[in-house]
Amino acid sequence: SGTMQSQMQFPSGYGSHLPNYSAPSGHYSQVPNKAAASHLDNQYRASYYPGYYSAPAQNVTTSVGSSVLNAQESQQLYNNTPHSGGSSNRPVQGAVSSASYLHVSAQQSYSAFDNHYNTSVSSSVASQGFPLNSDRYAMPVVSGAMYPNISYPPVAAGSVYGQTFTSQSLPVVGQVKETNAFSSQSTPVPHSLQQHVPVGYNTTLSTVSSAQPVQDNLGRNLTGSVAKVNNQINAGGIDSSQPVHSVSQNVPFTKPGAGTSASSAVMSSVRSPAPSLSSKPPSSPSVTQSPELALQEGMHYGGYVNNQASSAPAPLSSSSDDEEEDEEDEEAALDSSSTTSSASPVLNNYDALEGGGYPETRSVTSSPVPSPPVLQTSKASKPFGYGYPALQPGYQNATPPTPVQPSNPGHHPGFQHYPQACVNQLSSSLGGLSLQHSQQPESLRPVNLTHDRNILPVSSVPAPVPNLNSDLRKLNCSPDSFRCTLTNIPQTQALLNKAKLPLGLLLHPFRDLTQLPVITSSTIVRCRSCRTYINPFVSFIDQRRWKCNLCYRVNDVPEEFMYNPLTRSYGEPHKRPEVQNSTVEFIASSDYMLRPPQPAVYLFVLDVSHNAVEAGYLTILCQSLLENLDKLPGDSRTRIGFITFDSTVQFYNLQEGLSQPQMLIVSDIDDIFLPTPDSLLVNLHESKELIKDLLNALPNMFTNTRETHSALGPALQAAFKLMSPTGGRISVFQTQLPSLGAGLLHSREDPNQRSSTKVVQHLGPATDFYKKLALDCSGQQTAVDLFLLSSQYSDLASLACMSKYSAGCIYYYPSFHRSHNPAQAEKLQKDLKRYLTRKIGFEAVMRIRCTKGLSIHTFHGNFFVRSTDLLSLANVNPDAGFAVQMSIEESLTDTSLVCFQTALLYTSSKGERRIRVHTLCLPVVSSLSDVYAGADVQAVVCLLANMAVDRSVSSSLADARDALVNAVVDSLAAYMSTASNLQQSMLIAPNSLKLFPLYVLALLKQKAFRTGTSTRLDDRVYAMCQMKSQPLVHLMKMIHPNLYRIDKLTDESTIHVNDRVVPQPPLQKLSAEKLTREGAFLMDCGSTFYLWIGKNCDNNFIKDVLGYPNYASVPQKMTQLPEVDAPSSERTRSFISWLRDSRPLSPVLQVIKDENPAKTDFFQHLIEDRTEAAFSYYEFLLNIQQQICK
C-alpha cells in the first residue's frame, strides 16, 4: 500500500494561507481587471479567483509534509479567506487498494414591537384552542428570449465620476434600543449587551448622526457614512474575530398615542445631490440582432425579446445582485445623468451598484455640481381623479357623488401632451388618472357572517383589481408577481391605524414567466435622485424630460432613448418597451459587475450513515441526477462536486484523465481540510463520464455500513472552503440529528408535549453554528439548500438556519423511506426533477423602492440583509416568495397615486448579468370605507402569517395566536363602527373581508400554530419555514386547501386548455358535512392531493377512475391513477393534471379510505369543523362577535 505523500499532487501554492484583509466577507474591494495588479497582489498576496475562470495551473508535486500551516490560522474558519492547505500532523489514511476507488484518509432573540392597534379585547368564553385575552394586535418587526436583442452604441464617457463609497463605508450605527412588546417606551440596551450583540441579520440600526472623513483601504479620503458596529468604526481594520457581514434595521411599530409614526426609526440619513456627469450624446442608435438569440424561437417584439420562460430548463438571462449593488454605487456617484453608460467608475460595493435612497445622501465628492432644477410643485394639489368618494355611514343606501371625468380622456397613459400647461400636477402628468366610481362597490357590500354560510366563491378567490383607469390598469404589474395588502393606499398613517389592517407587499420576483420583455441597451434609464428605473407610470413633460413617479424629480431623456426600435421611429420615448411594460428585464453591462460573472457551481453534500442507507434516498437522488445531468442550468464552465459524510468526511477526485473516481477520506473532523482542492470541483462536460460512474456506484458503496454518527458540521465546513473562491449552490441531504464535530445537536423534543396547549418550546435554534456558517456562505455568494429526510427528530429549527440566512430553500420529508413510504419517495423524485432543472440566479441582490412618504421596515423570507434596504440573495430561484411590511411616514394628501418598484439583479446560469424590474401602481384614498374596499384578504392573511411566525419565535406561540385573533377582532370592529343601524346580534364584514375570519381560523389550525393536537416539533418548524418563504399563491393552498367533488364531473362547466377539456367543479366548504359516503372528493393542499373515496361510492367510478372493481379492492397506499378509456377517467385525470400544471412542484396524490392512516391528515384540513382543541368556524364567529361587543 502507498501513502498520501507518494500518491497525491498538490497545485501551485498549495498550503499557502491567505492573510486577513479588511473587506468584510462578501465584499470585494476592487473590480477585477480594473485596478493595478500590483495593488491587488499587495493587498491579498494571492489570486482571489484561482483557477475557476481559466484553465487550472499546472500541479506541482509536493509532499504533504512540506505544507505546514500555523495551527492558529488553520482554526480560523469564519474570519479569514478559506484556505485549501493540509497539515502534516492531520490523520490521513492512505492506501491504494485494488478496488475502483482510492481510499485516502486524510440566541439571538428577535426584537419585539408594539403595533398600532389600540383596542384591548377580552372574553369570558372558555378557551377553545387559542387565547381570548389580549392586549393588542402585535407582531414582531424583525425576521429575519425570445425577441432578437437590440444593441446600441455605447455612450461616450463623460467627466470623472468621482469617488464612491468602499465596501467598508457603511452607515453609522448609533445607540441600540430595545422596544418592549407592549409598551411604546424605548429603553437603551445596556452597554455590555451592545458589545456582544451579533452583527448581522437582526442588528438594530439607528439614524446617522454624523459623517466624518475616513480613509478607505485604497488610500482615498471619503466623506460620508462610516459603519460603526459595536462602537467600532468599520473602516479597514476589523478584528477578524468579529466578522461584520451586514447591518440591518429593526424598526418597531409604535402606538398612535405615542406620537410617532409606525416606522419612525427607519434610517433617516440625509443625502445630498451627487455630482453631475456630463456625457457626450451618442451617435444615432443602430439596431443589430444578436446571432445567438436570433436563432431562438419567440415572439418578435420590435427589437426586444419576449423571453419564453417556463418551468422547463432553458437558457436563462442573468441578473445578479452585483447589478443591484452596482446600481447602488452609481446612485451615489452619478447625478447629472439619468442613465447608466458603459463608462462607469470602479465600483467596490454591492450596495452601490444598485443604488438606493433619495438625494439627501451626501456624495463622496468634494464639490457636487448643482443638479437641474426640479419643479417646485412636484407634489400637486388633489387632482381631478383623486380617490374614491367618501361614503356615508349608511353606505348601503347612500348615493355616491357624481364621478369626475378625466380632463383628457384620450390622453395616452405615461405620456403627457407637451402643450399642456399644468405639467407639475402628478395626476395630469400621469395621463389623466380617473378613479372609477360605482353606485356601490361590490367589495363594500356588507355580509352578515353569522347568517351567510355560503361565502366561498365558486372558483378560486381572484386578486382585487386596483381602482385605476383602464389604461393604467392594463399597464400594472401582475398580482402573481407583486401584490399589496391594500389596493387603496390610505393617505395617512392615522387612517391606516383606524382600518386596523397591515400594510405590506407580497413578492414573487423571479417566478417563471411565459413572456418577458428583455431589453438590451447601453443605456438603462433611471432617476438620478432615487435611482428608480423608468417605467409605465412616469410622466413625460416633453420629449426631452420625464418626471420620476417615486420622488417626482425631473430627469433628462437620453438621446438614445428617443429612438423606438418597435416602430423604428424617433422622438417617441413614451412608446419604448420600458414604458409599456411593468415587468421588464434589462441585460446589464459590465458596470453592474464587481467581478467576472461566476460559473454555475453545484456541490452535493450527502449523508451516507446507516440511517441514510436504510432510507434509500441515495438511489432516488443518483437516478435523478443521471437523468437531469445535461439539464442542469449552466454553460461550458459549469462545475460539479460531491462530498459524503458519516463519522468521517469523504471527498471524490473526478479530475479529467482518471480512469475511475477516487475517494479521499478525511477522518480528522475537528480540523477539516481539503485534500486535493483543484480536483474536487470539476468541469461537468469534461468529467461527465467519471461523474456518471460515481453516480452509478454511489448507492451501493455504503450498503454494509455500520456508521450511525453524522458529522454534518465538518462536512459543511469543508463545503464552504471548497465553494468560497467562486460561490454557487450547496445541496445538503441529511437524515438524522448531527452527532459529531462542530454543530452537533442534542434532542430537545419531549414527545409528551406534542399535544400541549401551553408553551411550545424550542422553536428557535439551539446553536448559532449554522447561522454563522450561512452568513459566511452568503458573503461568498454561496447558498445552502437543505433536504431533510428523517424519521426521527432532527432539530430542524437549528438546521434551517443554514438555508434561511444564505437564501437557500428547505425540503422536508418526514418518515421518509423508499419502500415503506412510496408517497414520500415519489414526492422526492418529483421535487428533485424540478430542483435540478429550474432556472437559477447567482450573486443576486434585491431592492424595493416606493413613493416618497412610504417606508419599508421589515422583510420576510430567506435572505441576508446587507444594508437597510438591500437583500442579499446568494441564489435566487423561481419558487421563492418574499414579504415586506410598510408604514406611512408622510402624508400622501398631495398625490393621487403611489408606486412600488422592485429590482432584482442577478447572474444567470449562462454568465449574463440581468436586472428584472417590477412596478406596481395603486391609488391613494382618504376615507376608511375606501381602504376596506381595496383590502386584499389573501395578501393580508399571508403577511399576518409571516408576522405570526416571527412572533412565535421571539415571544411565544400563544402570543402569535392571540395576535392573529385580534387582527380579525380589530379590523371588523373598526369596519362596523363606520356603519350605522347594526344590531348586536350581527357580525358584519365588507365583502372584501368576508373570508378574513375563515382564513385566520385556518391559520390557527395549521401545523405551525395549532395547539392541543399532536404535532411533531420538526413538522411545526417546517410549516413555519414554508410560511416565510412561499409565494402567496402556494401559501394560500397550504393555509386553506380547495375541496372539490369529482365523482360527478360533467362537460357542462368546463374550460379549454390547449386541446384539453378541463372540468371546473365548484369549491366545497372544508367541512365533513359536505362529504358523503356516496361521493369522491379531491382536496388540493398545495403539495399533496388527497382523493377521499366514500364507502358507498359508485362502483362504476371506482372501476373507471381507480381501476379496481369495488371499494374493498382499492389498496391502502395508492398514489397513481391508471389511464382508463372511460369518460369519467379522462375528466378526472384532466382536472388533476390541470391543477398540477399550475404549480412548480408536482403534488403527490394519496387515495384515502376510511381505514387509511392518512385519513387523519385529510380530516385535519376540514377547518370549519370543531375539534377537541379548537372552535368550529361558526363558534369562532360567535367568539369574534362577543369580543367586539365588549
- pLDDT attached to residue 569: 80
Indicate the pLDDT class of residue 1054, thresholds 50, 70 and 90. confident
The secondary structure of 152-172 as a DSSP string is -PPPPP-S-------TT--PP
Higher pLDDT, 567 or 27: 567
Higher pLDDT, 412 or 1189: 1189
List the strands of the sheet with 1148-1152, edge to edge. 1067-1068, 1042-1045, 1080-1084, 1088-1093, 1148-1152
Q: Going along 368-494, which residue ranges are E strands?
A: 446-448, 482-484, 489-490
Indicate the pLDDT class of residue 757, thresholds 50, 70 and 90. low
CA torsion sign for 412, 413, 419, 422 is positive
Place of cell 356601490: 440
**Short-list 973, 1010, 1001, 974, CA closest to 1179:** 1001
Q: Going along 60-195, which residue ranges are E strands?
A: 94-95, 103-104, 177-179, 186-188
Q: Going along 516-666, which residue ranges are E strands?
A: 517-520, 524-525, 539-542, 545-547, 554-556, 563-564, 569-570, 583-587, 601-607, 639-645, 649-653, 662-666
- pLDDT attached to residue 1090: 93
pLDDT at residue 781 tops 50? yes
- CA atoms of 92 and 3, how far apart (whole Å): 9
486: which strand partners? 935
Q: Give kind and range of the element (H or E) at residue 917.
A: strand 913-925
Q: What is the mean pLDDT of residues 859-886?
A: 93
- CA atoms of 543 and 503, how far apart (whole Å): 36
pLDDT at residue 145 tops 50? no
Q: What is the mean pLDDT of residues 476-497?
A: 95
What's the CA dihedral at 381, 386, 388, 394 to 10 degrees? 40
- pLDDT attached to residue 353: 60
The secondary structure of 330-387 as a DSSP string is HHHH--S-SEE-S-------HHHHH--S-TTBPPSSSSPPPPPP--TTSSPSP-TT-S
pLDDT at residue 806 tops 60? yes
- pLDDT attached to residue 872: 94
Sequence-ordered alpha helix ranges (H) in 16-74: 37-44, 71-74
For the chain, give the percent of residues with pLDDT over 90.
48
Higher pLDDT, 321 or 1104: 1104
- pLDDT attached to residue 811: 96
- pLDDT attached to residue 657: 85
**1129-1150, pLDDT tens digit by residue?**
999 999 999 998 878 788 889 9
Name the pairing type of β-strands 563-564 and 569-570: antiparallel
The b/e string for 1032-1056 (b: 16+ C-beta within 10 A; e otherwise) is bbbbbbbbbbbbbbbbebeeeebee
- The burial of 382, by beta-carbon neighbours within 10 Å (0-12 exposed, 13-18 middle, 19 or more buried), is given as middle
**Short-list 31, 519, 509, 594, CA closest to 326:** 594
Q: Specify which of 1-10, 262-271, 304-313, 1165-1174 reaches the highest per-range mean pLDDT.
A: 1165-1174
**Short-list 297, 332, 49, CA closest to 164:** 332
Sequence-ordered alpha helix ranges (H) in 671-735: 688-701, 712-723
- pLDDT attached to residue 912: 93
Cell numbers standing for residue 507: 413578492
- pLDDT attached to residue 984: 66
**287-334, pLDDT tens digit by residue?**
333 333 333 333 333 333 333 333 333 333 333 344 444 444 433 333
pLDDT at residue 633 tops 90? yes
Higher pLDDT, 192 or 1135: 1135
If you ran DSSP here, which 8-state letter would residue 298 be given?
S
Q: What is the mean pLDDT of residues 972-976?
A: 93
**69-94, pLDDT tens digit by residue?**
333 433 333 333 444 444 334 444 43
Measure Cα distances from 149 to 145, 571, 597 in Å: 8, 21, 20
**382-409, pLDDT tens digit by residue?**
332 333 333 333 323 333 333 333 333 3
Whether the Cβ atoms of residue 469 and residue 435 lie closer than 8 Å to each other: yes
Task: Name, in order, each residue with C-beta under 8 angstroms of 1027's C-beta and a sequence gap of 6 or more.
Answer: 942, 945, 946, 949, 1008, 1035, 1038
Q: Give kind and range of the element (H or E) at residue 901.
A: strand 897-908
Domain residue ranges of the chain, discontinuous segments joined by +? 603-839, 1042-1166
Task: Name, in order, each residue with C-beta under 8 angstroms of 336's C-beta and a sequence gap of 6 or more.
Answer: 275, 276, 277, 278, 369, 371, 372, 528
HSE-CB of 993 using CA atoms within 13 angstroms: 31
Sequence-ordered alpha helix ranges (H) in 30-168: 37-44, 71-74
Task: Name, in order, each residue with C-beta under 8 angstroms of 514's C-beta and a sequence gap of 6 or more.
Answer: 308, 309, 310
Cell numbers standing for residue 2: 502507498
Q: What is the mean pLDDT of residues 1001-1012?
A: 93
- CA atoms of 34 and 29, how far apart (whole Å): 11
- CA atoms of 1151 and 1131, how far apart (whole Å): 17
Sequence-ordered alpha helix ranges (H) in 1105-1167: 1127-1141, 1159-1164
Indicate the pLDDT class of residue 860, thresholds 50, 70 and 90. very high
652: which strand partners? 663
Q: Going along 752-894, which residue ranges are E strands?
A: 782-790, 810-814, 841-850, 854-860, 864-865, 870-876, 882-888
- CA atoms of 919 and 481, how far apart (whole Å): 10
Place of cell 457626450: 280
**Short-list 519, 513, 434, 417, CA closest to 470:** 434
Indicate the pLDDT class of residue 439, thresholds 50, 70 and 90. low
Task: Name, in order, each residue with C-beta under 8 angstroms of 880's C-beta and a sequence gap of 6 or more.
Answer: 508, 510, 807, 809, 861, 862, 1029, 1031
Indicate the pLDDT class of residue 1013, thresholds 50, 70 and 90. confident
Place of cell 416606522: 263
Higher pLDDT, 170 or 796: 796
Cell numbers standing for residue 353: 451598484
For helices 957-978 and 996-1004, angle between their N-to-C axes, nearest 10 degrees: 170
- CA atoms of 691 and 685, how far apart (whole Å): 10
Calculate Rg over the CA atoms of the chain.
30
pLDDT at residue 1087 tops 80? yes
If you ran DSSP here, which 8-state letter would residue 48 be given?
S
- CA atoms of 549 and 470, how far apart (whole Å): 19
Indicate the pLDDT class of residue 752, thresholds 50, 70 and 90. confident
Q: Going along 162-242, which residue ranges are E strands?
A: 177-179, 186-188, 213-215, 221-223, 227-229, 232-234
- The burial of 534, by beta-carbon neighbours within 10 Å (0-12 exposed, 13-18 middle, 19 or more buried), is given as buried
CATH architecture assigned to 603-839: 3-Layer(aba) Sandwich (3.40)
- CA atoms of 720 and 79, how far apart (whole Å): 13
Q: Specify which of 226-240, 341-355, 878-892 reaches the highest per-range mean pLDDT.
A: 878-892
Place of cell 406620537: 259
Cell numbers standing for residue 250: 429593526
**Short-list 616, 597, 707, 697, CA closest to 654:** 697
The reported pTM is 0.68
- pLDDT attached to residue 1116: 83
- The burial of 72, by beta-carbon neighbours within 10 Å (0-12 exposed, 13-18 middle, 19 or more buried), is given as exposed
pLDDT at residue 1058 tops 50? yes
- pLDDT attached to residue 918: 97
- pLDDT attached to residue 772: 96
Indicate the pLDDT class of residue 1117, thresholds 50, 70 and 90. confident
- Taking domain 1042-1166, whether its CATH number is 3.40.50.12780 is answered by no
Neighbouring C-beta atoms of residue 46, cutoff 10 Å:
15
Q: What is the mean pLDDT of residues 124-133?
A: 38
Indicate the pLDDT class of residue 746, thresholds 50, 70 and 90. very high
Name the pairing type of β-strands 1148-1152 and 1088-1093: parallel
pLDDT at residue 176 tops 80? no
The b/e string for 788-817 (b: 16+ C-beta within 10 A; e otherwise) is bbbbebbbbbbbbbbbbbbbbbbbbbbebb
Indicate the pLDDT class of residue 211, thresholds 50, 70 and 90. very low
Indicate the pLDDT class of residue 103, thresholds 50, 70 and 90. very low
Q: What is the mean pLDDT of residues 1092-1118?
A: 91
Q: What mean pLDDT, rounded, does the chain reach?
A: 72
Cell numbers standing for residue 900: 412600488
- CA atoms of 626 and 692, how far apart (whole Å): 7
Whether the Cβ atoms of residue 913 and residue 588 lie closer than 8 Å to each other: yes
**Short-list 599, 544, 533, CA closest to 572:** 544
Measure Cα distances from 647 to 74, 633, 701 in Å: 21, 33, 15
Decide if 603-839 and 1042-1166 have a common fold.
Answer: no
Phi, psi of 829 (to 5 degrees): -60, -45
